[in-house]
Amino acid sequence: MFSLRWRLLGLALLLPVAAWFLVKPVRVLAPTLVGVTCVRSNVCVDDLARSGDAQALYDEAVAFVSARLAPMDRPPRIVFCWTQRCAEAFGLGDRAAVMMGTWGAVIGPRAWTYWIVRHELIHYVQARHLNALAMLLKPRWLVEGMAYALSEDPRQPLAEPWESDRRRFLAWYAHVGPERMWEEARRLRRLAPNRGS
């Protein structure tokens, strides 16, 4: 049969291809392969007529998050989808936007707002400070509550469970303060899956 080396080589070649087709947001790594144009290395659009709006949203969000949360020496790539077709190519489904760890984000057609772009960049900063894989073990109220609260999302109230997450984060943040936030966030662990604890 095949040696272990050949099996591992085959697996190493198959995994990126499988990820491309099964985990569509990973396409943010090579967005031009699905018909998106990158007007800058970190700003891509499916409709060139909207590139000015996309760049303005990106620049505002990077400046906002860098000033209020943590400087971003290498901000991530963001793909701005103006059409539903583009959003589907990146697997957004019902989501307005998605951040893929530290690789980049996809902003869907209904998410072209300064607070949603900020929200996704806050997830990027979380992944940089807490580790993208470790974020899977963090309570939802920390991950999502921080993004909703610190992005200054103006929607009042948010749909549940997001409003409760935002309130719980704000109470915790008032207790720990911005100076100790990352240190204390590293200590938090999710107690039970799908409960937001």
Provide the whole-model pTM: 0.84
Q: What is the pLDDT of residues 96-110, one digit of tens each?
A: 999 988 889 999 999
Q: What is the pLDDT of residues 29-65, one digit of tens each?
A: 778 888 899 999 999 999 999 999 999 999 999 999 9
Mean per-residue pLDDT of the chain: 87
Confidence of residue 180 (pLDDT cuts 50, 70, 90): very high
159: number of CA atoms within 13 Å, CB side? 0
- CB burial class (10 A; 0-12, 13-18, 19+) of residue 136? exposed
Q: What is the pLDDT of residues 83-138, one digit of tens each?
A: 999 999 888 888 999 998 888 999 999 999 999 999 999 999 999 999 888 888 99
Give the per-residue pLDDT at 1.
56
Distance CA 155, CA 101 (A): 25
Of 120, 101, 152, nearest to 54 (Cα)? 120
Confidence of residue 195 (pLDDT cuts 50, 70, 90): very low
Of 185, 143, 141, 181, nearest to 163 (Cα)? 141
Supply the DSSP string of 53-68, one letter for each residue: HHHHHHHHHHHHHHHH
